[in-house]
Structure 1
């Protein structure tokens, strides 16, 4: 597995597959129990080749992620559909205008001949 650590050897991220730039190789068999369940950036440190709890870790106020409700998601999807339909409508108007002009040109040629 790969560990991404900062200058204080605090573990910022980890990956079982893939890689991070400047990451360290670590044997996943030597993980503390519940490492995955309790992992947070800086919660663990790499010390003497072992992963240990960070004694200096403090819980910071984390950013709250706002997840849109189903109604908001539906509204966003409908708004997108409306915009797409308006765009298609404008394109169709241009085509209709062009065809109307061609028809008028054809009729005018037939009258003048």
Structure 2
């Protein structure tokens, strides 16, 4: 069985596929990968050297992102806009109800 590997210029494995194809990928025989490859895979954690997949001795795990993501910021802005629209609609409805009840002229 073959693996499709997408590599960067340092031969670090960015992604892989066991089914289908990746653009600009190299092929590797599945018997040339470590037993824990699927479990431990992270982009750049493994290198492809001389037809074998090995752990990258220079791998540094990425720092976790702290704080809201870009999508969180977009969602918050949408919710804020909706809350403002609801507030405006509630004020308008109150004014209409007052006029209907004869409270204002």
- TM-score bracket for the superposition, by shorter chain length: 0.5 to 0.7
Deviations 1:66-113 (A, max 9, x none): 8xxxxxxxxxxxxxxxxxxxxxxxxxxxxxxxxxxxxxxxxxxxxxxx
- State the 4+ residue runs in structure 1 displaced beyond 2 angstroms: 62-66
Q: Which has the higher helix share?
A: 1
TM-score normalised according to structure 2 size:
0.58
Deviations 1:38-85 (A, max 9, x none): 00000000111111110110011134798xxxxxxxxxxxxxxxxxxx
Specify the SS of the correspondent of 2:38. helix
Distance 1:63 1:19 in 2: 31
Q: Looking at CA atoms only, which structure, 1 or 2, has the larger radius of gyration?
A: 1
Q: 2:46 aligned with 1:44, yes or no?
A: yes
RMSD between aligned residues: 2.2
Change (3 A) 1:23 1:62: farther
Residue 21 (structure 2) aligned to one of 11, 19, 22: 19
Distance 2:58 2:65 in 1: 21
Q: Which runs of 5+ in 1 are unaligned?
A: 67-113
2:32 corresponds to which residue?
A: 30
TM-score normalised according to structure 1 size:
0.54
Distance 2:25 2:65 in 1: 26
Specify the SS of the correspondent of 2:22. coil
Q: Which runs of 5+ in 2 are unaligned?
A: 70-105
